[in-house]
Structure 1
Amino acid sequence: MAEPIVTGEEMRDAERAAIGGGTSVDTLMRRAGEGAADWIWRMSAGRSATVLCGPGNNGGDGYVIARRLRELGAKVSVVAPLAPKTDAARSARAEWGDPVSEEWSEDGGDVFVDALFGTGLSRGLSAELQQLVHRLANRHGQSVAVDLPSGVSSDDGALFDDIPSYDLALALGALKPAHFLLPAAAHIGSLRTVDIGLGDIRHRAETLDRPQIEAPRADAHKYSRGLALVVGGAMPGASLLAARAAQGAGAGFVQLASDETAAVPHDIVQVDGDLEHALSDERIDAALVGPGLGRDQDASRRLQRALAAGIPLVIDGDALRLITPSATRFEREWDDNILTPHEGELQALEEHGGIEARGSRLDRARRVADTYGAIVIAKGPDTVIASPDGHCVCAPRAPSWLSVAGSGDVLAGIALARRAVSEDPDAFDAACDAVWLHAEAARLAGPSFAAGELADRVSAALGSALAVAR
């Protein structure tokens, strides 16, 4: 199931609400520490641990973790270079009871638990604390971050310091944007959430869920399953890749509007001649424009014709560098279309829309979605899907082998198919389905594949989602 992803402010609001409802800070800390300790105990199989505690409530969580691990039978040492500064942290240290070292002796344990600083950090660590964190991480076999690695900005994933990598991060209460956004996310291996009893938390972002895709109905035919049109351009290879992916993602009928003479597979219908005529077919459920389009006057004309057709669009590649906000907003619906920019194209959309490029990747994707009136898939190692209403979904890290030429064309083709096949059209759901299927196809393709091989795995990825729906 999708999980909420909360900012620091949203987390503080949830904690204040819990406290206002009668739950004490000490109780929240006990739930967080004991829940985290149980995960660490499972991971470490009872081996010894070194817990690094800071001065705030994150450090208090660390003292609770140490106490709980000791109760479970682990050998635990606590390092606390800074004295507790909150009542709850002081109480947790008192309950720990055993000696605390201000500096770490080289005797250390097998598992390093970083509870130095968490969500509230707003600046870098001192040189001494940085050195201590790195030394502990380097001298232990495994490392665990309590809530977040120390030295990370919770809301945007920025690094205040050079941080080590962690085998596990334990999100306390709820996931945070830094668990998904680069550069911080690249330093986190596995990710688990510790429930501390906050109930429903106000949030505007959540995790990407596995889609629930149903097989075609028994009476389905090629048009009822979705007619998807790919608008070709100067470089036919990209549009052919997208068409191939659209077939694997479930479209019943894929057409390619192109005058190019490149070999077109027999199961893709090429529609040549006037593009306006091709787009006028009322049976078309969605169209894709951008892959291989080019950026000359002819490309611009083809884009304008696609925009004028009044059908749901997926806009990718070269087309993203040619459009303006006024071109994508329609009077009937403000979220019919899907934009699929990589970082460079996202910057172009910001420039053309007069949007200031600031804040987190979530913030940037939201502003572009709102300005252009479209669903935005800000694709990359930390893919974000944003709606004009501010709702966002963060995708878990996909295989890094996706960093291959043509990968984006495959994603665009999948998005086209999912947009075309839906009986209850929803561009946001189609975008989420596409991102999940794209990553799953990469996983199935294994290491070091070409974009064509990725497109060939889309059908199997679709099968993975269908198996859940049965």
Structure 2
Amino acid sequence: MAIENTRLFTPAAMGAVDRAAIDGSLSGPGLMERAGAAVAASALEHWPGLKRAIILCGPGNNGGDGHVIARHLARAGVPVERFGMKPREGTDAAWAFESFPGVIAALADYRPEAGDLIIDALFGAGLDRAVPDEIAKLIERAANAGTPVLAVDLPSGLSGYSGRPTGPCFRADRTVTFAALKTGHVLLPGRDLCGELEVVDIGIPSRLLANDDPVVLNDPSVYGTTSPAIDASSHKYARGHLVVFSGPLISSGASRMSAQAGLRAGAGLVTVASPPGAVMAQSAHLTAVMQRSVGDADALSDWLKDDRLAAFVLGPGFGHNELVKDYARIVLEAGRALVLDADGLTAFADTIADLSSFDAPKVLTPHEGEFRRLFPDLLDDDALSKIDRARRAASRVNAIVVYKGADTVIAAPDGRAAINCDAPSKLATAGSGDVLAGIVGASLANGRPPFEAACAAVALHAEAARRAPDHMTAEDLIAAI
């Protein structure tokens, strides 16, 4: 999926773009003609052997696209049948129907046959409620028959805002959308329900593809590069000193993985800060990663007099809730960057708002379960998308929030948000979160601003996973950074 415009739109924002284009020099029928022609071309390219095109037409502009699609496919020699609703008179969709008049059968009359391709032009992103019962039954018949589906703009039954089904929903094999992606295209499960995504230029000027809602796909236009800047005069401290706190002896492995990942990701030097009882175990495993014994808050405060300590990772395998809070406070009061992950998040489950008072750079990296412990009210609000939840959490704690998953959302307190949607499923392995925490720490130690640091780290984490072996372990992932 090669996308030139990385900005994401809600359906409402995209509707405003369409209206602005029509209020300018473009005509509604002209946009509809180009959209319908593009979908017809996609159908012919990807289903060259189709025996019958079943065009499901809604009453609005999505249905208008369907009438144009029907005309183009019929002219190409494909048998075409339309099911659905006639358009409202006086609309662009009515123009489209008049350009290819004919019978539109009732949705209840459709029965799948071998060789059919369903082209779903019912509602697209224009519906954010459950589909009517007759469409739900059609969706079930098509699914039972295994009939392929090509969706126009968005599969009917899927929220273009949240990416969640509103009820019964088509599972498309391919979705063709226009000008730019909607948030529902990339948030899960919407991304899976859309199948292969194709974004088509239908002539909307790029100057109109802007809005006041700064949500983008995570890519180099956000963070620049995943590698730290290095020149001939660089030295290890110029690339940043990262510290990873270790837990007790029995759980010290998580911190080692974070530390090794941080070193691989470009920190100039990395130190594991171990409690005295874990020093010998860490020494047996660490080589290029250094070690320091830090047993209590006083020892940490004394060490922080060294202003070369740039960033800290706190939480992987740490296990001591009260000490987490002490260490976090000391690091943040010293103005150093802090990544909170795993046990570092759990320790703040009931006091997460306390972090908002610190202005030092902070990045929180919760997975779904940790997010629920920290922000249960946000997860209980079904009206919120994953983007909404991440943004509100970021504002609440005055920190960057990396809301992890196959559709990781990185959000800043100022409202910026990026969605990373190219991480492979093999990241679902023990320790991959510890690795990400170390990469984020390295990116902060390099001196990046926290939002860009988190975006770069998430991108590097995903790229390393793509290059790692199938059935990888966290150690394989570190080696692939």
TM-score under structure 2 normalisation? 0.87
Which of 222, 225, 230 aligns to 1:216? It is 230
Cα distance in 2 for partners of 1:137, 1:68 equals 26
Cα distance in 2 for partners of 1:314, 1:207 equals 22
Cα distance in 2 for partners of 1:80, 1:141 equals 15
- Per-residue deviation, residues 241-266 of structure 1 (Å, max 9, x unmatched): 11111122111211111121323311
> 1:59 matched to which residue of 2?
63
Secondary structure of 1:238's counterpart equals: helix
CA displacement at 1:139 relative to structure 2 = 4.1
1:402 has 2:427 as partner: yes
Q: CA RMSD in A?
A: 2.3
Code of the residue aligned with 1:81 in structure 2: it is G
Contact persistence 1:307–1:327 (CA under 8 A): no
CA displacement at 1:161 relative to structure 2 = 2.1
Share of identical aligned residues, percent?
39
Contact persistence 1:77–1:109 (CA under 8 A): no
> 2:215 matched to which residue of 1?
205
> 1:91 matched to which residue of 2?
95
1:179 has 2:185 as partner: yes
Cα distance in 1 for partners of 2:338, 2:81 equals 57
CA displacement at 1:98 relative to structure 2 = 4.9
Q: 1:47-196, aligned counterparts within 5 Å?
A: 47-48=50-51, 49-71=53-75, 73-85=76-88, 87-102=91-106, 103-107=109-113, 109-137=115-143, 139=145, 142-196=148-202
- Per-residue deviation, residues 352-406 of structure 1 (Å, max 9, x unmatched): xx86853111111111111111111100122111111111111114211212221
Which of 245, 250, 255 aligns to 2:261? It is 245
CA 1:2 to 1:254, structure 2 compared with 1: closer, same or farther past 3 Å? farther
Unmatched segments (≥5 aa) in structure 1: 459-470
CA 1:39 to 1:162, structure 2 compared with 1: closer, same or farther past 3 Å? same
> 2:459 matched to which residue of 1?
436
> 1:265 matched to which residue of 2?
286
Q: Structure 1 residues 215-224 or 364-373, which shifts more?
A: 215-224
Cα distance in 1 for partners of 2:164, 2:171 equals 14
CA 1:114 to 1:108, structure 2 compared with 1: closer, same or farther past 3 Å? farther
Q: How many residues align?
A: 450
Cα distance in 1 for partners of 2:413, 2:176 equals 31
Code of the residue aligned with 1:200 in structure 2: it is L
Contact persistence 2:245–2:315 (CA under 8 A): yes
1:233 has 2:247 as partner: yes
- Per-residue deviation, residues 15-73 of structure 1 (Å, max 9, x unmatched): 221222242322222222223333333322464433222222111111112222334x2
> 1:39 matched to which residue of 2?
42
Q: Structure 1 residues 207-216 or 22-31, which shifts more?
A: 207-216
1:24 has 2:11 as partner: no
TM-score under structure 1 normalisation? 0.89
CA displacement at 1:342 relative to structure 2 = 0.9
- Per-residue deviation, residues 274-297 of structure 1 (Å, max 9, x unmatched): 222333321122111111121433
> 1:466 matched to which residue of 2?
none
Unmatched segments (≥5 aa) in structure 2: none
> 1:412 matched to which residue of 2?
437
Code of the residue aligned with 1:456 in structure 2: it is A
CA displacement at 1:78 relative to structure 2 = 2.9
Cα distance in 1 for partners of 2:313, 2:470 equals 28
CA 1:101 to 1:109, structure 2 compared with 1: closer, same or farther past 3 Å? farther
CA 1:403 to 1:19, structure 2 compared with 1: closer, same or farther past 3 Å? same
Code of the residue aligned with 1:326 in structure 2: it is D
CA 1:397 to 1:78, structure 2 compared with 1: closer, same or farther past 3 Å? farther
CA 1:69 to 1:25, structure 2 compared with 1: closer, same or farther past 3 Å? same
